[in-house]
């Protein structure tokens, strides 16, 4: 990872809601948007928007099951050192 990529990721996760979402997903492996919104105490819309930003930047991935979308950490693309920092916060 180069400096530009690192700065981009740090800007993305510096948002409180996105950081809380990442912590929740690391702890719970996978979750539905509504469950994440409830856990981090924000609206469904705010959670969905934050997840969209995280997904666009390959930090989370999603899968659809019927009409619900489930999210999880994209361990393939999430920087390992950063993931370890998050895990140490739990």
Mean pLDDT (the chain, rounded): 94
Q: What is the mean pLDDT of residues 38-56?
A: 96
Return the DSSP state at 2. Answer: -
Residue 89: its pLDDT value, please? 86
The CATH number of residue 8's host domain is: 1.10.10.10
The number of distinct structural domains making up the chain is: 1
* Total-model pTM: 0.92
Q: What are phi and psi of 41, to 5 degrees?
A: 60, 50
Residue 1: its pLDDT value, please? 79
pLDDT digits (tens, 9 = 90+) for 9-37: 999 999 999 999 999 999 999 999 999 99
Residue 90: its pLDDT value, please? 80
Maximal C-alpha separation, the chain: 40
Q: What are phi and psi of 34, to 5 degrees?
A: -60, -40
């Amino acid at each position: 990872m180069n400096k530009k990529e690192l700065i981009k990721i740090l800007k993305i996760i510096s948002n409180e809601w996105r950081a809380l979402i990442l912590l929740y997903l690391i702890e719970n492996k996978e979750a539905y948007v509504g469950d994440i919104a409830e856990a981090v105490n924000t609206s469904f819309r705010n959670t969905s928007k934050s997840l969209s930003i995280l997904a666009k930047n390959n930090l989370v991935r999603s899968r659809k099951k019927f009409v619900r979308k489930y999210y999880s950490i994209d361990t393939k693309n999430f920087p390992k050192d950063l993931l370890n920092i998050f895990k140490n916060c739990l």
